[in-house]
Structure 1
Amino acid sequence: MKSKNSLIPLIFSLIFFHSAEAICKPRGFDYIQPSSNASTSTSQQQQSPSPSAPAPNQVPSSPPSTSTPISNANSNPPSSEPQPPSSSSSSPAKTFTPSPAPPPTSSSRPLAGINLFNQPTPKTEPTTVDPAVKKICDSTDYPTLCLASLTPFLIVGKTDPVSILELAIKASTQQAKLALEAATKLASAPNLPPRKASGLSDCQYMFNDALDNLESAMDAIPSKDYGTVNSMLSAVITDSETCEDGFTGQSPLAEFDDKLRMMGSNCLAISSLISPII
């Protein structure tokens, strides 16, 4: 009787356990009775919130699998090295390098930029020459220089001897200014020998005197005082020769002196064409 009474509580306990197990079992879940050896690991797996995020102090039985992106079977695997741009890519924008500016021509060069130490006498006549001007220059001692020096100053319609003489004096005045500029530049050089410094100083004086004489000759033309004109032009020739006499050996201003002397001689020859008429 006592043994039966002891079995009744045991039976009720089993019924209660199965009832509780049925109530707590989720739907669609087949419960497998865990073994005594794996009960601990099963309970740990049920307590983990998700397989991808293990609980603290819990080491997963296998490393989580990493998802790999699905790639096309025909595509090449990515390369870690940078690939050069393909030929189909757009070409870079063209850059335009400005062409260098052309060097200035002799016609646009200012007077101060002329090489003061290279004043050769023209060897050929200009291609286009007025016959009247050529006839006057042919009467001078240096016809080629006469035509070359007059060409920049010629005025259309003014080819009479008086107009040509005035233009020849203007050309000679320009040459005297160039000679004075060259002498001044040479005289400013340091450590000049005394003899050379003295010669350059004399040339500066002579070129200034030549400019005064050319101006006086020009002023005497309107009054037809050709005696004064010829006297002043002769003084210009003397000024250039006196400059040369101030140097021993080769003069540094020889080209300027020679050209000024020849141009003064041409002016004097043109003036002599007018004097008999007057």
Structure 2
Amino acid sequence: MAKVSHLCLLFSFLYFTGTAQSAATSSAGAAVNFIKVSCSATSYPSLCVQSLSSHAAEIKKSPRQMAQTALSVSLARAQSANTFVSKMAKFKGLKAREYAAIKDCLDQMGDSVDRLSRSFQELKHIGQAKGQDFLWHMSNVQTWVSAALTDENTCVDGFAGRAFDGKVKASIKARVVNVAQVTSNALALTNRYASKH
């Protein structure tokens, strides 16, 4: 009889564990689907999905959390690119024009990091703001993210022309273009959240 009750207990445990896992899998699937649908409204949807899918558990189906996470990803990449550009400025054998372009880019990326950081904090503390108060906070976020995107594009534009061919230009440009793309996506997702509120 003891064996039968242990067997029943084991089956019950397995059933509830399976049900819980199934619910968790279903919830994660719904979150990933939400990310895919939201990302379809951005300029770089596959990059959007790739950069946000690992955060599905925290995003769930929240447009606000989606925008917040997108800003966080953009900020982290901007900080990383800023560090990289800073290292490139110390590269030996740079031509005067290359060094000047890198220094300008460093200034732009520093501004971008600052603006993305302010945007992230503003959205994080928006709380239960409603009406005009919500619109004011969202306007700040949108303005700063848009300015950060301009900074990133200005950095890339600074390397235009034949005088800048080479590995230094290519490596900086690749990093900063990626940051600009995730920032563009973050701006689109922020605008999407603002329009749904």
The reply to whether TM is greater than 0.5 is yes
What is the CA-CA distance between 1:170 and the residue it aligns to? 0.9
**Deviation per residue, 1:62-98 (Å, 9 max, x gap):** xxxxxxxxxxxxxxxxxxxxxxxxxxxxxxxxxxxxx
Correspondence 1:276 to 2:195: yes
* 4+ residue runs over 6 A deviation: none
Alignment of 1:38-53 (within 5 A): none
Distance (whole Å) between structure 1 residues aligned to residue 122 and residue 179 of structure 2: 20
Query: For the Cα contact (< 8 Å) 1:173–1:211, is it kept in 2?
Result: yes
Q: Which structure: greater helix fraction?
A: 2
What is the CA-CA distance between 1:156 and the residue it aligns to? 4.5
Match of residue 256 from structure 1: 175
What is the CA-CA distance between 1:245 and the residue it aligns to? 2.3
Distance (whole Å) between structure 1 residues aligned to residue 195 and residue 173 of structure 2: 34
Correspondence 1:245 to 2:147: no
- Is the partner of 1:196 in helix, strand or coil? helix
Q: Give the alignment partner of residue 40 of structure 2, picking from 120, 138, 152.
A: 138
Match of residue 159 from structure 1: 61
Once the two structures are overlaid, the 10-residue window that deviates more, 206-215 or 150-159, is 150-159
Query: For the Cα contact (< 8 Å) 2:58–2:65, is it kept in 1?
Result: no
Q: What amino acid sits opposite 1:254 in the alignment?
A: K
Match of residue 234 from structure 1: 146
Correspondence 1:207 to 2:109: yes
When residues 170 and 160 of structure 1 are mapped into structure 2, their CA distance, relative to the original with a 3 A threshold, is same
Match of residue 180 from structure 1: 82
Match of residue 147 from structure 1: 49
Identity, in percent, stands at 25
Q: What amino acid sits opposite 2:180 in the alignment?
A: R
What is the CA-CA distance between 1:212 and the residue it aligns to? 0.6
Q: CA RMSD in A?
A: 1.8
Match of residue 39 from structure 1: none
Higher relative contact order (CA 8 A, sep 6+): 2
**Deviation per residue, 1:22-58 (Å, 9 max, x gap):** xxxxxxxxxxxxxxxxxxxxxxxxxxxxxxxxxxxxx
Distance (whole Å) between structure 1 residues aligned to residue 108 and residue 190 of structure 2: 22
Structure 1 unaligned residues grouped into runs of 5+: 1-127
Matched pairs, number: 151
Distance (whole Å) between structure 1 residues aligned to residue 67 and residue 89 of structure 2: 33
Distance (whole Å) between structure 2 residues aligned to residue 139 and residue 157 of structure 1: 17
Q: Could you state the TM-score of these two structures normalised by the residue count of structure 1?
A: 0.51
What is the CA-CA distance between 1:163 and the residue it aligns to? 0.2
Query: For the Cα contact (< 8 Å) 2:35–2:53, is it kept in 1?
Result: no
What is the CA-CA distance between 1:191 and the residue it aligns to? 2.6
Distance (whole Å) between structure 2 residues aligned to residue 258 and residue 156 of structure 1: 27
Distance (whole Å) between structure 2 residues aligned to residue 185 and residue 168 of structure 1: 26
- Is the partner of 1:275 in helix, strand or coil? helix
Distance (whole Å) between structure 2 residues aligned to residue 157 and residue 263 of structure 1: 17
Alignment of 1:1-278 (within 5 A): 130-156=32-58, 158-221=60-123, 222-223=125-126, 224=134, 225-247=137-159, 248-249=161-162, 250=165, 251-252=169-170, 253-278=172-197
Structure 2 unaligned residues grouped into runs of 5+: 1-28, 127-133
Larger Rg: 1
- Is the partner of 1:147 in helix, strand or coil? helix
Q: Could you state the TM-score of these two structures normalised by the residue count of structure 2?
A: 0.70
What is the CA-CA distance between 1:276 and the residue it aligns to? 2.2
Query: For the Cα contact (< 8 Å) 1:153–1:171, is it kept in 2?
Result: no
Query: For the Cα contact (< 8 Å) 1:154–1:167, is it kept in 2?
Result: no
